[in-house]
Amino acid sequence: MQAPVRYSPDVEVVRSDEGETIEQLNQTFDKILRTVADDSGHAVRSVHAKSHGILEGVLTIDANLPPELAQGLFAKPGEHRVYMRMSTNAGDILPDAVSLPRGLALKVLDVEGERLPGAEGTTQNFILVNGKVFQAPNAEKFLGSLKLLAGTTDRAEGLKVAASTVLRGINKSLHAVGIESTTIGALGGAPNVDPLGETYYSVTPFRYGDYIAKFSVAPVAPALTALTGTEIDASGHPNAIRETVQSEMRGIEGVWEFRVQLCRDPERQPVEDPTVEWSEDEAPFQRVGLIAVRPQDSWDEARVQAVDEEMRFSVWTGLAAHRPLGNINRARNAPYKHSAAFRQHFNGCPIHEPGAGR
């Protein structure tokens, strides 16, 4: 196996039009935010608006990691409280019969070290989805798709449900012959799987101290892996996923591995194109810690208020040692802040990072 590639600033190639694209992303997200807020009277996130569960647990960082894995947050063993937010990727609150890719946002508390520019608080955030690649190679291409989706926000729910049923069938047929389509999944054709059994991926790369990496969170507790691939029947139950997770987490001791995939070949594992999957044969995921979650109410009112309403998740909230890399990550910074500022202003609810002990 090749040695991991060392990080240097020149691994990124900044496009000349990124500033203009980011401004258009802000405008398009603003359309989604404003439409949902005006229709419902409450502002939600511009992406991954609907939560299915908010969990509280502990990340234990492994001891005796080899030097290339003992980096940044994972440089020394220890325990950190974490919040986990499970969601789907639309910017409006849809019935669960519209099946979309799952998301997992992880907030690690009380993290020491040099912060990213503008990163408030002392947390390290990770944002992951249950797919290995992003749907667009760069922010400009993503903007084109987002503009189309913005035009359907909060409209024709019944048609979205019907279309999702058709697209799920198409996606299953493609999957049967070995074809994966992130586009069909993003439009409502993703399998309507139980989020507790899914493996999640950062999709985009990050600095990993002296190296470059992608991240993954994978279920390892038997009670979780038994749910992998299990589909939820959401017909007639708009919040079926939330209700399922809530019922299951009352009796589940959840354990997930936190894994790191070190870049070992910058040509075959590019930084700037997140549509390229990094082969696990060439760059395997390696465990660096365990997340443990005791049985709990995954829709506890106080925790939902604290996390879903009063916090934001951003890949740019964290350590300089885990700087987001690549065009898509650079384009995520301003829109995430924009979305949080809109929610805070519209709802009159301050958004802030949790302090020590919270």
Cα separation, 106 vs 327, in Å, equals: 22
Tokens 């240097």 correspond to what residue? 8
Helix (H) or strand (E) holding 145: helix 139-150
Confirm whether 192 is domain-assigned. Answer: yes
HSE, CB side, 13 Å, CA atoms: give it for residue 126.
29
* 48-80 residue pLDDT tens: 889 999 999 999 999 999 999 999 999 999 999
* 88-134 residue pLDDT tens: 877 777 888 887 889 999 999 999 999 999 999 999 999 999 999 99
Q: What is the dihedral of CA 176, 177, 180, 186, to 10 degrees?
A: -50
* 194-244 residue pLDDT tens: 999 999 999 999 999 999 999 999 999 999 999 999 999 988 899 999 999
164 pLDDT band, cuts 50/70/90, is very low
Confirm whether 178 is domain-assigned. Answer: yes
What residues make up the domain containing 45?
A: 9-347
* CATH at 79: 2.40.180.10
Confirm whether 201 is domain-assigned. Answer: yes
Angle at which helices 18-40 and 333-347 pack, to 10 degrees?
30
Q: How many domains does the chain have?
A: 1
Confirm whether 355 is domain-assigned. Answer: no
Confirm whether 356 is domain-assigned. Answer: no
Q: Is the pLDDT of residue 143 over 90?
A: no
pLDDT of amino acid 264 = 98
Confirm whether 70 is domain-assigned. Answer: yes
Confirm whether 262 is domain-assigned. Answer: yes
pTM here is: 0.89
Q: Which conformational region is residue 156 in: left (phi greater than 0), alpha (psi within -120 to 50 degrees), or beta?
A: left
Helix (H) or strand (E) holding 211: strand 211-219
Cα separation, 12 vs 187, in Å, equals: 30
Confirm whether 334 is domain-assigned. Answer: yes
Cα separation, 199 vs 225, in Å, equals: 10
